[in-house]
Amino acid sequence: MDEAEYERVCALDAYPVAADGGPGLSVSEETFAVIKRQVEHRRLRGALRQHRQDKTLKRYIARHGSMEEDDKRALHQDNKKKTSKRESFCAIAQSVNFSPCMLARVLLEAKYGWTKTMISNLFKDVMSGNRRWPLRMPAQPSQDANGERKIMLEAEYDRLWKEIGECIYADPYCSPLADRIRHNVGLEYEYILTAKLQSRGMVFESEDVLREKGLSKTPDVRLVLPIGVRDKEGELHVVHWIDSKAMFGDRHTHETENASQLQGYVNRYGPGMVIYWFGHVANLSSDRDVFITDAFPTDFLLPGDLDPFEGTPSLSQGDDLQLQHHTVATSFDDDFHPMSTCVL
């Protein structure tokens, strides 16, 4: 995708259909949604600072109200002008075009004095439906609109429990549910990568195997036998490792968030390849040792024109296979690259 089309995608509010007229997009509706999700998530993270300012927090705390205001409102039911309705975390966030979950975390810290660990525990408990008052979350001093600290009652905790649930299901970008979905999509594409490697008879070490060996910087796959891949210009790239990215490779994401990580893999394992499964913008600036693509290559070269299936006996229906245990010994070369040897 070129930069012009990427900018057009970012400017659109919805995926254009044929009936709308005008030029269509070269990307699928799924890729369009991924791009919009990344752009919105980046916007919300950039806006967090302005919502953490003291004056802004005081306004939010006043709008969120307290239990005492509910009691006063009950005493003045006939004079609604004297009281103001309490607003939820979600309502406040939507009124300022901000993430409900991010705003809830900010206000839980500013108004109730909770630590990040306590806030994360509350979100986890709401997600699992496991209410643990007061065992998991003991009563904490809260802060009213005047800045005074008061001990939170269970009724106030019940209100927070309900509001956090609203935030989680109303926030498609920054909620724990959205994080879980992104994590599962990432795992799905890592599985697709390993399945493609296995179907081609390629020997590799997964990220889990590398971590078991005590390596800290671990790509998704390290190839025991490197491969050669040609780009669109025909230039050959040697690949020692592959990293799977279930995202769109825009310039900001690649250069700001991923480039340093990929360079770390180059320093430890040599040149490699990153797959942006949902595509990437053209001409991403990258080290020559990192080959960027949007799909697993269909054609690649092995050292010495090695055929991984050569010498492998074909199986017929009804054949029995016997599995045997063998010892795997791991050593390291001069560059501290792990090498595994199967002792037969």
Q: Which structural domain range is residue 248 located in? A: 186-308+323-343
pLDDT band at 133 (very low <50, low <70, confident <90, very high): low
Amino acid at 45: R
Is residue 22 one of the residues assigned to a domain?
Answer: no
CA-to-CA distance for 187 and 177, rounded, in angstroms? 15
H/E run at residue 197 = helix 176-199
pLDDT at 2 over 60: yes
- pLDDT tens figures, 323-334: 777 676 766 666
Helix (H, G, I), strand (E, B) or coil at 240: strand
Residues 278 and 339 in one domain: yes
State the distance between the two ends of the chain, measured CA to CA, in whole angstroms.
49
H/E run at residue 204 = strand 204-206
Amino acid at 217: K
Residues 215 and 165 in one domain: no
Lowest mean pLDDT among 51-55, 258-262, 283-287: 283-287
Residues 170 and 192 in one domain: no
Number of domains in the chain: 2
Average pLDDT value for residue range 71-97: 71
Written as six digits, the tokens of 29 are 């509706």
Q: Which of 174, 194, 214 is the last residue of a domain?
A: 174
pLDDT at 143 over 60: no
The whole-model pTM stands at 0.76
Average pLDDT value for residue range 109-115: 88
CA-to-CA distance for 141 and 232, rounded, in angstroms? 62
Characterize the bridge pairing of strands 149-151 and 141-143. Answer: antiparallel
Residues 63 and 201 in one domain: no
Residues 153 and 201 in one domain: no
Is residue 198 one of the residues assigned to a domain?
Answer: yes
Average pLDDT value for residue range 289-317: 75
Per-residue model confidence (pLDDT) at position 222: 93
Residues 261 and 202 in one domain: yes
pLDDT band at 63 (very low <50, low <70, confident <90, very high): very high
Q: Which of 174, 203, 220 is the last residue of a domain?
A: 174
Per-residue model confidence (pLDDT) at position 185: 93
pLDDT at 92 over 80: yes
Lowest mean pLDDT among 45-49, 93-97, 224-228, 316-320: 316-320
Angle between helices 176-199 and 154-170 (to 10 degrees): 40
**Phi, psi for 92 (deg, rounded to 5):** -65, -45
Per-residue model confidence (pLDDT) at position 52: 92
